[in-house]
Amino acid sequence: MANRPLRVGNGAGFWGDNLDAPFLLASAGQLDVLTLEYLAELTLAILSHLRTKDPAAGYVADFPELLERLTPLLKEQAGLRVVTNAGGLNASACARRCAEILEAAGQGAEPLGVVTGDDLLGSIPRWIRENVDLAHMETGEPIATVADRLVSANVYLGAEPIAEALRGGARIVLTGRVADASLTLGPACAHFGWAWDDWTRLAGGSAAGHVIECGAQATGGLWHRWHEIPNLENIGYPIAEIDADGTSVITKPDGTGGLVSVGTVAEQIVYEIDDPTCYRTPDVDVDLTTISLTEDGLNRVLLRGATGRPPSDRLKVAAVYRDGWTASGLLAVVGRGAEAKAHASGWIVLERVRRAGFELANSLVECIGAGSVVPGVVGASSPPFEVMLRVSVRDPNRKAVERFCREFAPLVTSGPSGIAGYATGRPSARPAFGYWPTLVPRHLVEARTEVRPAAEWLRRTL
């Protein structure tokens, strides 16, 4: 437990974020904790597909590669810790790979913590028999309708098991699905010794975590005045300096591009929320409307005033199920009447698939450049001379989707004039996945934390 501020920097907002950002942030940020937030619902679908092909896969493969770059910093910076949900659907396999890297770097004694308990896939059949309500949050359908097609089901764990791993001495903490803000709150609770019913401090730590969880979005990324931001190509990633009372200062490393201002932080606070008076996490329900933001110097914003209430007795679950096959084709259409030609081309493709005897379950024809990305929001001031045609389909029958893939290229010579961009060849059929959001009673979930020297994780079998 300590009273000095805790300096937490987040170097990834999703799997696919800037590869250099975590290393640069850890090098220049003078951090106590480097967090890396990789997971989204789409990521879970990707990881579940990878795991079906290889039982040893299912974690974020970018993280072990990053760890190889971080090992010298872990040796130089004795106080630096790393907390990440890179464990994905297979945290133990990720731990083993990371242990190999640490052992090769002569750091096999470093404590490596793993948080599990988020994987509920094996429990779903039993809960269905016991009539546990796992209905779809939007449609109300029972999960039994997709139970035989489920490939993953992960509950959003909170900060407590992360804090437990850090208090147990872990230098690196690997988790599966945890709430994004909990990656920051866990280290804060471990550092300050906050009680798990201290709603004001938990709300403050969660608010800080929410601001930095999406990486550079808090430092100017996606800001509506992006053209005013200096050195955007060298954007710095965010740091939260958290105080013992739950207040924090949001900043970034000196000398980096981007901007930390009341505007950039405020936009991130309202990102991906529903009710701003009740931002739900597994740890605390945060009232974001009580927050005040004030400038605290160049690229420094003071965040204070977050208030909290006890969280729900139910936890969110992100489940993914097989939903047939999908494909998407893209072509450029150029010339007078480009929009009409593109729509006609899309209809021609779908009609030829029907003529071949296939009724596709879902199809979508988009005319990008003529308002399809934001339909009904902005109309074209004049007919576009060039557009991109994108046709996407989904169907339970793979053969139907493959037939669609074969009907796209013939447009080049048997469709309207002005077709271009076909050099990439046919689109390919790929597995389609559906997302099943639901809630599970909290008492059915048990988070588990294990901390061992890296060398011991190598001796464990998966």
| Residue 146 CA to its chain's centroid (Å) | 24
Torsion angle in degrees (nearest 10) through CA of 51, 56, 60, 65:
-150
Stretch 112-117: mean pLDDT: 98
Please give the pLDDT value at position 16: 93
Q: Is residue 350 pLDDT above 80, yes or no?
A: yes
Burial class (CB in 10 A: 0-12, 13-18, 19+), 276: middle
Banded pLDDT at 296 (limits 50, 70, 90): very high
The type of residue at 58 is G
Stretch 99-114: mean pLDDT: 96
Residues 262, 423: Cα–Cα separation, whole Å: 46
Q: Is residue 99 pLDDT above 80, yes or no?
A: yes
Stretch 124-132: mean pLDDT: 97
Domain boundaries, the chain: 6-318+438-458, 322-433
451, 95 in Cβ contact below 8 A?
A: no
Q: Is residue 1 pLDDT above 80, yes or no?
A: no
Please give the pLDDT value at position 322: 94
Q: What is the mean pLDDT of the chain?
A: 94
Please give the pLDDT value at position 377: 79
Structure tokens at 109: 């004694």
Please give the pLDDT value at position 380: 64
User: 242 has which bridge partners?
Assistant: 6, 248
Question: What is the full DSSP assignment across 235-261?
Answer: BPPPEEEE-TTS-EEEE--TT-BS---
Q: Which of 349, 318, 328 is nearest to 432 (CA)?
A: 328
Stretch 65-78: mean pLDDT: 96
Stretch 429-454: mean pLDDT: 96
- pLDDT tens digits for range 139-180: 999 999 999 999 999 999 999 999 999 999 999 999 999 999
Lowest average pLDDT, out of 49-53, 210-214, 239-243, 327-331, goes to: 49-53
- pLDDT, greater one: 88 or 409: 88
Please give the pLDDT value at position 110: 96
- pLDDT tens digits for range 3-31: 799 999 999 999 999 999 999 999 997 99
User: 434 has which bridge partners?
Assistant: 321
Please give the pLDDT value at position 119: 95
Please give the pLDDT value at position 53: 87
Please give the pLDDT value at position 362: 97
Return the percent helix, strand and coil in the chain, to nearest 5.
35, 25, 40
The type of residue at 312 is S
Banded pLDDT at 431 (limits 50, 70, 90): very high
Q: Which of 207, 212, 219 is nearest to 299 (CA)?
A: 219
Lowest average pLDDT, out of 48-52, 208-212, 250-254, 379-383, goes to: 379-383
- pLDDT tens digits for range 38-49: 998 888 888 988
Question: pTM, whole model, 2 decimals?
Answer: 0.94
Can you name the CATH fold of 322-433? Alpha-Beta Plaits (3.30.70)
Please give the pLDDT value at position 263: 95
Q: Is residue 238 pLDDT above 60, yes or no?
A: yes
Pairing of strands 292-295, 301-304: antiparallel
Q: Which of 312, 238, 311, 296 is nearest to 35 (CA)?
A: 238
Please give the pLDDT value at position 52: 84
